[in-house]
Structure 1
Amino acid sequence: MKNAIEIKDVRKVYRVGDEKVVALNHVSLEIKQGEVCCFLGTSGSGKSTLLNLMAGLEKPTKGTIKINGHFIQKMTEKQLAKFRQKYVGFIFQSYNLLPALTAVENVSLPLTFRGIGKSKREEISKKMLEAVGLKKYITHKPTQMSGGQQQRVGIARAFVSYPPIVFADEPTGNLDSKTTHEVMGLMLEMAKEHNETLIIVTHDKSIAQYADKIVYILDGDIQKIEEKNKEENYEKEGN
């Protein structure tokens, strides 16, 4: 199985006044295509910074990030925008739906950026909403839906263009336990169906158990990596 993501010796340092704050410290990691990988850590551990670097939202201070054969730290903003349109889907904790748009209009946004005609993208988006159990909510706007329903719209939007990689940043942070279980099952089902790589960032250990690979992050370092049905393949010395 080929690697979807290769992170080598990545370091991220922020300047705060005269001080340097190390957010990530020489992180190296490989994630295979079709793998469900969870970055697990407390607030401030560096997990969200790592996701932002992988998504090209920030650039590393040092090191390389290779996604689907592309070294994203070398790309311009214009190249990154095109790269994300083609290869990446996003699921957010706060849903990030446009309030003035209906469910089907929100879901069809990635297809709009790809230049797909209105009738075709509506057809595709309606099928995707039906797949996430929202057939009756196609014309509803975000304010007319519950948090769980809004997150299902967010999932449909992330997967609608079948991107090779989907990033989910605390995707169940605003949901109750029952809805969390439903949403996680839905994300895994959709990712596995099309062999998409799913990267989940969370502080919740119960969410991590859904993953094929759990990457424990603390103070900008990878402390341990666990793989389902395998022995631990890495543990930082002293832990």
Structure 2
Amino acid sequence: MNAIDIKNVRKVFRVGEEKVVALDDVSLEVKAGEVCCLLGTSGSGKSTLLNMMAGLEKPTKGIISIAGRRVDKMTEEQLAIFRQKEIGFVFQSYNLLTSLTALENVSLPLTFRGFSKKVREKHGKEILRAVGLEKYVTHKPTQMSGGQQQRVGIARAFVSKPPIVFADEPTGNLDSRTTEEVMNLILKIAKDNNQTLIIVTHDRSIAEYADKVVYILDGNIQKIETREERECTEE
């Protein structure tokens, strides 16, 4: 079963009098539980494709089905509810609320889904323990390092166990050692819960963690490479 189905998607932006083609007839399938990396340079269209999958932007034409539902046909209200239930996000810039503690930041998705404070705190503490931050429950973002803040961001994305998690340049602000720790952490949680993980990056070393790498250039998919194909090439 596919978690994501994209068929003949095209996205055109208007910049003044000009038309800029961000995506040009893109089709892609991602299986449930698969780790898929969208790899490309800045301006290649990879982030636009991610935004389409998440329903943050509408395609000019084409079909986008996530978890069996057409997100390209949803209203903004339907999309908001859909994202709360089906999708988690890990951002490059962490996107934590500085006035909230680690536990409060992590618990936000559960707040939107109507869980009681007791249940939110229970699940929040469990996921913070899983990412190695059980001692930082009451710390605010300004009291934590970049790597710790990203762990909070990861905990927030996974706390409600959404079927699909999008990670947009999740290690872009981290050093190489912390990058490896964060990637291993994301993959472990996703695999443990059989979640589909979509990683957007320009870093080829991050692509090594994926089951499938989608190479994107100038709004087009240049090639799709599976882990098995990569391993055969390396040999």
What TM-score range do you get, normalising by the shorter chain?
Answer: over 0.9
Distance, in Å, in 1 between the alignment partners of 2:207 and 2:163 is 21
**Structure-1 residue corresponding to 2:152:** 153
Letter in 2 for 1:31: V
**Structure-2 residue corresponding to 1:46:** 45
Structure-to-structure mapping, 1:54-133, within 5 angstroms: 54-133=53-132
Q: Note the residue ranges of structure 1 that are not aligned, 5 or more in a row.
A: 233-239
Distance, in Å, in 2 between the alignment partners of 1:231 and 1:36 is 14
**Structure-2 residue corresponding to 1:168:** 167
Deviation at 1:229, TM superposition (A): 1.3
Letter in 1 for 2:188: E
Distance, in Å, in 2 between the alignment partners of 1:136 and 1:68 is 36
Q: Work out the number of aligned pairs and report it.
A: 231
SS state of the match for residue 99, structure 1?
coil
Letter in 1 for 2:123: I
Considering fraction of residues, name the structure with more helix. Answer: 2
Deviation at 1:231, TM superposition (A): 7.1
Deviation at 1:129, TM superposition (A): 0.1
SS state of the match for residue 147, structure 2?
helix
SS state of the match for residue 39, structure 1?
strand
Deviation at 1:138, TM superposition (A): 0.5
**Structure-1 residue corresponding to 2:199:** 200
If the length of structure 2 is used for normalisation, what is the TM-score?
0.97
Deviation at 1:230, TM superposition (A): 3.8
**Structure-2 residue corresponding to 1:235:** none
SS state of the match for residue 228, structure 2?
coil
**Structure-1 residue corresponding to 2:33:** 34
SS state of the match for residue 95, structure 1?
coil
Distance, in Å, in 2 between the alignment partners of 1:90 and 1:98 is 15
**Structure-2 residue corresponding to 1:237:** none
Letter in 2 for 1:182: E
Distance, in Å, in 2 between the alignment partners of 1:144 and 1:7 is 41
Provide, for residues 174-224 of structure 1, a one-character-per-residue CA deviation record: whole Å limited to 9, x for no partner.
000000000000000000001100000000000010000000000000001
Distance, in Å, in 1 between the alignment partners of 2:144 and 2:209 is 26
If the length of structure 1 is used for normalisation, what is the TM-score?
0.96
Distance, in Å, in 2 between the alignment partners of 1:227 and 1:163 is 24
CA RMSD of aligned residues (A): 0.9
SS state of the match for residue 200, structure 2?
strand
Distance, in Å, in 2 between the alignment partners of 1:127 and 1:101 is 18
